[in-house]
Amino acid sequence: MPSYTKDPDAIARLSPEEYYVTQESGTERPGTGALLGNKEPGIYVDIVSGEPLFASSDKYESGCGWPSFTKPIEPAHINELRDTSHGMIRTEVRSAHGDSHLGHVFPDGPQDRGGLRYCINSASLRFVHRDEMEAQGYGDYLNQVEDVT
């Protein structure tokens, strides 16, 4: 299994919005994320560290304005932290190795799929299409990606 780390070169290549979201715990405007409507088969990885976070087969349309997933592809790659900002109590989701702010998790997801909604900023993710997974070192996750188109 590859080693995933917070990559200073990757951070230097981030767009202003990607930097704001991942490094300053920001949030992209709802409905604007490039990956919101993505229905291609593959995995979503941390834009900073490359660690695998979510599979396309666990993505669903929640109507919240951000990509939503029912579970992480690799639970050890997700840290959940108490977030009391903005006068709310929420659970922040960060990548374990890259320490990127990803979004939040809520208990209002599909009950038949575990009941969780991982509400994730597109700006914190890089999508790897199923056809490119092996070449990019993510072949171990191919069995977790089904055709969703």
- Whether residue 2 is contained in a domain is answered as no
- Whether residue 14 is contained in a domain is answered as yes
Average pLDDT of the segment spanning 25-49: 96
* pTM of the complete model: 0.93
> What are the tokens at 117?
């909604």
Average pLDDT of the segment spanning 135-149: 83
| pLDDT exceeds cutoff 60 at 147 | no
As a residue count, the chain comes to 149
| pLDDT exceeds cutoff 70 at 1 | no
Mean of per-residue pLDDT scores for the chain: 93
Average pLDDT of the segment spanning 105-134: 97
Of 116, 119, 120, 128, the active-site residue reads 119
Residue 57, SS3 per DSSP: helix
- Whether residue 149 is contained in a domain is answered as no
Q: Could you tell me if 24 and 11 are in contact, meaning their C-beta atoms sit under 8 angstroms apart?
A: no
Count of domains in the chain? 1
What pLDDT is attached to residue 2?
Answer: 63
- Whether residue 22 is contained in a domain is answered as yes
Alpha helices in the chain (DSSP H): 8-12, 16-24, 130-133
Average pLDDT of the segment spanning 116-125: 98
- Whether residue 91 is contained in a domain is answered as yes
Catalytic residue list contains 64: no
| Nearest in space to 80 (alpha carbons), one of 68, 90, 69 | 90
Q: What is the pLDDT of residues 40-98, one digit of tens each?
A: 999 999 999 999 999 999 999 999 999 999 999 999 999 999 887 778 788 999 999 99
> What are the tokens at 65?
């304005």
Task: Residue 125: give the domain boundaries.
Answer: 8-143
User: How open is the CA angle 114-6-78, to the nearest 5 degrees?
Assistant: 10
What pLDDT is attached to residue 149?
Answer: 45
34: domain CATH number? 2.170.150.20
